[in-house]
Chains A and B, each alone.
Chain A
């Protein structure tokens, strides 16, 4: 899959220009705390490297002061990195001109803020319209698109209310709708649910997962809550004192915690209720596409020592499976007429508990699909047992 965001050797330093320069020289050889003592500059993010995949829900977790907020703010350049490169969709942010940066912010990225950041002098609709208004989209179109976003987050009927007439959860829905109107590739969420009470938070998390499942968007989500991180994330990056401690799927965190700090951090996490199918699913060894030639697929199966293969169409929609036997017997040119479908599939956002019924009976890999029915991975009984045993 394409890399949506690629971050190399990124550091963020706060302070006066002179302090920053000094800090930069000491950065590699000293801890952030020592740099601060010596120069007075604060190292918020230190030498962070990672790649975020297209369509991924990537969670960054850490305590306050770990640098997670400073980090996410570099992705729309609200913070300028001191060193390092950030590439989004192959374009380097730090090399953008002022105009390019503005276009990038208008079209490709948007942000949801912890304290909502709503314009209190505008109605819900006025807020949601704002990103289109600055682009001078004409009134009719922007109202139509804004209403779509408002409906998407379940606020229709409230569009003419002022933000201060809404509850916290509803205000954050406005924030989310506003971030979706410009249809960004990259959605940045800076502790969006931290200011909400636990019940509402849970509800909002589930809604976001549902939304995320229906759209192709890379989401970067910041939280200080490990439970939230594990419930939401495809992959999780744990930051501590400006540095990356561990990066991986929830499963990998449980399997190989990098150090004692990580162990302590995940100690409170109840994994049976948090691990989802998507967290432990695997990538299929090989997938066939409608229209592929029978010969090629037969070869692939032999080569990889597989008994059957899953089949999708061009857009990754799940179509069924073909067994090795059937391939061997047939004389057809393409595989199209050999596809069988017994409708056994699991949904990637199910918690393991819920998927267990289907999984416990399966000795082979089951297909994992998303809300639209696209093949996202595979999973079998043993994978689940392994994940829970650790």
Chain B
């Protein structure tokens, strides 16, 4: 009697199943079966990363200040340009120029992969209700699963430390908003506009490329912005598997309880985030036709 009562009050200790073993085995299996493919993946992305980084580093520091400043001025007004240019300069002043370039490389490559993968997925999701039903819970899971969890399998699958697993983990973490907003943008295109397209005999490809994507462009741009911000956030975490850069400086500062370095490197990341966010936001606004002079008669 007492035993039954106890079982109802507290979760019984032995009444569990072990999923850790199977998951390990699946990851191992993937790693073994697709070894060749995964290795090729590593080689390819190392190549991409090297080239992006080389390009970013060959551009002199003052060009960045100028380009960001002018972009800020064109997208908003001149004070924004001055502000953003100053932030670029501040990253250099803090002493994190090299580290930021390294970090920016990982962010840019992750965002590029996200775009190439996320845009078609978002489009399919908008076009097919079945695909939407499958993909939605997966996206929910990707966004709620603690981001640290991606690190270990990324490490194991690619069998290497450093940038490539970092890019993969960052992409998985950062891609959902782009997929979601692409989907949303296409779904929210004014129904009469889509009907008009149909009524003039558009093929579904014409509908997609001449109507739906152009109409959804500002929402897709907002998705790119969010994805970029997620990638910035993930970069510190990704340094735990050997990605260097400013993220790594923050991580080291935490390990050594070095408050000063922690904040300094932290600020460099914040500045980078602000610059990227403002620029992308500005582009999204420019693409939003309906927002300007939207006087309804």
Genuine A/B complex: yes
**Chain A residues within 8 Å of B, Cβ to Cβ:** 76, 78, 102-107, 109-111, 113-122, 130-131, 133-135, 162, 164-169, 171, 178, 182
Range class of the B interface residue count: 20 to 34
In this assembly, does B202 line the interface, its C-beta being within 8 Å of a C-beta of chain A? yes
Of listed A106, A121, A166, A171, residue having the most chain B CB within 10 A:
A121
B293 touches A103 (CB 8 A): no
| Chain B contacts for A110, CB-based, 8 A | 199-200
A120-B289, A164-B293 as given contacts; A78 in contact with B199, CB under 8 Å: yes
| Chain B contacts for A164, CB-based, 8 A | 289-290, 292-295
A116-B192, A118-B193, A164-B294 as given contacts; A111 in contact with B201, CB under 8 Å: no
CB-contact partner of A106 in B200, B290, B292, B294, under 8 A = B200
| Chain B contacts for A162, CB-based, 8 A | 289
| Chain A contacts for B10, CB-based, 8 A | none
In this assembly, does B46 line the interface, its C-beta being within 8 Å of a C-beta of chain A? no
| Chain B contacts for A135, CB-based, 8 A | 201
**Chain B residues within 8 Å of A, Cβ to Cβ:** 190, 192-193, 195-203, 206, 210-211, 214-215, 217, 289-290, 292-297
A120 touches B215 (CB 8 A): yes
CB-contact partner of B203 in A102, A114, A165, A171, under 8 A = A102
B199 touches A111 (CB 8 A): yes
* CB-CB nearest in chain A for B296: A168
CB-contact partner of A119 in B199, B215, B293, under 8 A = B215
B297 touches A168 (CB 8 A): yes
Expressed in whole angstroms, the minimum distance between the Cβ of A200 and any Cβ of chain B is: 9
Of listed B203, B210, B215, residue having the most chain A CB within 10 A:
B210
Ordered nearest first, which 3 A-B pairs have the shortest CB separation? Answer: A106-B201, A168-B297, A117-B196
A170 vs B190: C-alpha distance in the bound complex, in angstroms?
Answer: 19
| Chain B contacts for A182, CB-based, 8 A | 200
Expressed in whole angstroms, the minimum distance between the Cβ of A173 and any Cβ of chain B is: 12
Residue pairs across A and B with Cβ atoms less than 8 A apart, 11 shown, are: A78-B198, A78-B199, A106-B201, A107-B201, A109-B199, A110-B200, A111-B195, A113-B196, A120-B193, A121-B217, A130-B210
| Chain B contacts for A171, CB-based, 8 A | 297
* CB-CB nearest in chain A for B214: A121
A106 vs B199: C-alpha distance in the bound complex, in angstroms?
Answer: 8
| Chain B contacts for A115, CB-based, 8 A | 190, 192
* CB-CB nearest in chain A for B190: A117
Expressed in whole angstroms, the minimum distance between the Cβ of A91 and any Cβ of chain B is: 15
Extra 18 A-B pairs, beta carbons < 8 Å, given A121-B289, A130-B210, A167-B297:
A102-B203, A105-B198, A109-B199, A113-B196, A117-B192, A117-B193, A117-B195, A118-B196, A119-B210, A119-B214, A120-B289, A122-B214, A130-B197, A162-B289, A164-B289, A166-B297, A171-B297, A182-B200
A162-B289, A164-B292 as given contacts; A134 in contact with B200, CB under 8 Å: yes
CB-contact partner of A134 in B206, B214, B289, B293, under 8 A = B206
Of listed B193, B196, B211, B215, residue having the most chain A CB within 10 A:
B196
| Chain A contacts for B293, CB-based, 8 A | 164-165
| Chain A contacts for B192, CB-based, 8 A | 113-117
A133 vs B197: C-alpha distance in the bound complex, in angstroms?
Answer: 11
A134-B206, A171-B297 as given contacts; A119 in contact with B200, CB under 8 Å: no
A107 vs B198: C-alpha distance in the bound complex, in angstroms?
Answer: 13
A130 vs B193: C-alpha distance in the bound complex, in angstroms?
Answer: 12
| Chain A contacts for B195, CB-based, 8 A | 78, 111, 113, 117
* CB-CB nearest in chain A for B290: A120
A119-B211, A121-B214, A121-B215 as given contacts; A76 in contact with B199, CB under 8 Å: yes
Expressed in whole angstroms, the minimum distance between the Cβ of A116 and any Cβ of chain B is: 7
| Chain B contacts for A119, CB-based, 8 A | 193, 196, 210-211, 214-215
* CB-CB nearest in chain B for A106: B201
| Chain A contacts for B198, CB-based, 8 A | 78, 105
A115 vs B294: C-alpha distance in the bound complex, in angstroms?
Answer: 14
* CB-CB nearest in chain A for B191: A117
| Chain A contacts for B197, CB-based, 8 A | 130
B210 touches A133 (CB 8 A): yes
CB-contact partner of A105 in B190, B193, B201, B292, under 8 A = B201
A122 vs B296: C-alpha distance in the bound complex, in angstroms?
Answer: 17
Of listed B215, B294, B297, residue having the most chain A CB within 10 A:
B297
A357 vs B198: C-alpha distance in the bound complex, in angstroms?
Answer: 49
A103 vs B199: C-alpha distance in the bound complex, in angstroms?
Answer: 11
Expressed in whole angstroms, the minimum distance between the Cβ of A149 and any Cβ of chain B is: 13
